Chains A and B, each alone.
Chain A
Amino acid sequence: MNLTAIKSIYAFEMARFFRTITQSLISPVLSTSLYFVVFGTAIGSRIETVEGVSYGAFIVPGLIMLSVMTQATSNASFGIYFPKFIGTIYELLSAPVNFIEITIGYVGAAATKALFIGTIIFITAFFFVDIQVAHPIAMVAFLLMTCISFSLLGFIIGIWAGNFEQLQLIPLLIITPLVFLGGSFYSVTMLPPIWQTITMFNPVVYLISGFRWAFFGAADVPVGLSLMAISLFMAACLTAIWWIFRTGWRIRQ
């Protein structure tokens, strides 16, 4: 294992993040605050409680997940797409590193950035609502797994993307709708039965539900199922990455 290489990739990527730290943090904090104002205060004043929790607090886990998933995906996809775009990928391909090391470096950095942003939003939330965390360890675990698995997904998107439009396409077309329809702002039980069934095919439902359980001890789906869903998702991403590097798809000619 070329640990030095992993560390170098990780540090180089983090440096990019810290160079633009203000932009990196301002936009998620601002948009989250807006969500709190619009959903938490304006709409929340009409909805008393959901599953025994004030609406403002109820949306916190979903909001964190929303940001973490989109940030992890876009950071990781950009991280590996950028070297392709500016041509510095030649160095990665000619270095004595294997795909595991490259993946750990890039995905690790993207996941760290997402975790950073998730934590900031969590802190921001404290300014708006009262929140208690019922299962802190589970919360951290869910958060970490989400950061990592969506960074893996972003990594795949970055390798696949042939231009900047494609790079934006998947997050815009798939992740945002899945997250919005994944129960970020409502409990799945609030939907008509037919929609409840359809929603069960949305993998994000399991993640948000599990994460929310860690906060409030109540969930739409059993926690075990949530854990299984996220593990499956992660395994699928890892398999895809393994295949990509084995075949050199879109990387090595």
Chain B
Amino acid sequence: MAAIVSVKNLRKTYDTGFEALKSINLDIEEGEILALLGPNGAGKTTLISTICGITVPTSGTVKVGGFDTVLEYRQARSLIGLVPQEINLEPFETVQNTVRFSRGLFGKPRDDAKVAAILESLSLGDKATAKVKELSGGMKRRVLIAKALAHEPRVLFLDEPTAGVDVVLRKDMWNVVADLKATGVTIILTTHYIEEAEAIADRVGVISKGQILLVQDKSEMMSQMGKKQLRVDLSAPATTIPASLSDYDLALEMDGTVLVYTYDTRKERTGIRRLLNEMADAGLQMTDLQTQQSSLEDIFVGLVKDNA
């Protein structure tokens, strides 16, 4: 599949001299949900702003739908919808006028039915003539999405759509994103919540200190990067790990009643069968066993720590 967004050697140094993006390379496939996961200050907003034209790249290129975002900004920007991190809205205007304005600003002819349909799809149908300032925070965020969708973009950027939002609203937002994906829109969202990336993304890009450390299929990332743990319940507590098992990454937990083996799923052999045999030889009797996969959070913490 061809990439709908293609970022090449993108650098951004702010006037302060701070290098917020250090040679970013990133291809985003049409129709996918990509989560850019990174801690605060990683450069997520800077990356989005540079792609969308709010900040000027220091060097490198960005293409959207094949159009250069600087040289062919009109074509490129027409394809992009942006939902900013902050709730930036004209407070005194009505919801529908605000959304109509966005559509017009992007050069699309007035289409009140289209605007009404977008509002309806975001459960804002009954708020069309309400003033923006009368809405709740969650609804305002939806108005921002409606504005971003008003010109029917093919790529939607959502900058931290659930930052500082309660659990119910977050789940709500995830549903909105899933519905959008179903319409064929490519979605790039930034987040510093790992569970969010885990819950809705197809691919996850990990960004830290202005660099993309890794972009991978979510499940692949979890299975490949993840460490797995085998927990073996012992029939009798052990005080020490037998010397014959010293080659394995083992630990005793729960007062010696559980033996924990940590292994890497990327290795060709996990060593489980051999370990179990050697445990029997060493006289350790087991009553039960289970495996545990590390979460994206563990992976992420590991990556960022390695990079520090």
Residues of A within 8 A of B (CB): 2, 4-5, 7-9, 11-12, 15-16, 19, 86-88, 90-97, 248, 252-253
**Docked CA distance A15–B84 (Å):** 24
Asked if residues B84 and A4 are in contact (CB atoms below 8 Å), the reply is no
- Give the residue name and chain of the B residue nearest to A248 (CB): B56
Whether A12 pairs with B101 at a CB distance below 8 angstroms is yes
Contact B52 A252 (CB under 8 A): no
The digit string for B80-122, where 1 denotes a CB below 8 A from any CB of A, is 1010101011111100010011111111110000000000000
A8, A9, A92, A96 — most chain B CB neighbours (10 Å): A96
Query: Which B residues lie within 8 Å of A90 (CB)?
Result: 54, 82, 84, 88
Asked if B154 is at the interface of the complex by the 8 Å CB criterion, the answer is no
Assess whether A86 is in contact with B89, with CB atoms less than 8 Å apart.
yes
Residues of B within 8 A of A2 (CB): 74, 107
Cα distance A8–B118 in the bound complex, in angstroms:
19
Closest Cβ of chain B: how far from A123's Cβ, in Å? 28
Tell which of B82, B91, B106 has the most Cβ of chain A within 10 Å. Answer: B106
Query: What A residues does B14 contact at CB under 8 A?
Result: 253
Q: How far is the CB of A93 from chain B (nearest CB, A)?
A: 5
Q: How far is the CA of A97 from the CA of B104 in the complex (A)?
A: 11
Indicate which residue in A86, A92, A252 contacts B56 across the interface (CB closer than 8 Å).
A252
Chain B residue, CB-CB nearest to A252: B56
Interface residue ranges of B33-58 to A (CB < 8 Å) = 52-56
B: interface residue count bin: 35 or more
A87's partner among B84, B104, B109, B147 (CB-CB below 8 A) is B84
Contact between A15 and B93 (Cβ–Cβ < 8 Å)?
yes
B93–A12 CB distance below 8 A: yes
B147 to chain A, nearest CB (A): 7
Tell me the smallest distance from the CB of B45 to a CB of chain A, in Å. 11
Beyond the given A95-B106, A96-B77, please list 13 additional residue pairs across the A-B interface where CB-CB is below 8 A.
A4-B107, A8-B101, A8-B105, A87-B84, A88-B89, A88-B90, A90-B54, A90-B88, A92-B105, A96-B74, A96-B78, A252-B54, A253-B15
Please give the distance in Å from A21's CB to the nearest CB on chain B. 13
Q: How far is the CB of B223 from chain A (nearest CB, A)?
A: 37
Is there an interface contact between A96 and B106, defined as CB atoms closer than 8 Å? yes
Known contacts A2-B74, A94-B77, A96-B78; is-contact A9 B105 (Cβ 8 Å): yes
Q: Which residues of A contact B15 (CB under 8 A)?
A: 253
Complex formed: what's the CA distance from A141 to B92 in Å? Answer: 34
Within the assembled complex, what's the spacing in Å between the Cα atoms of A7 and B107? Answer: 10
Given A90-B88, A96-B73, A96-B78, check contact A8 B104 (CB 8 Å).
yes
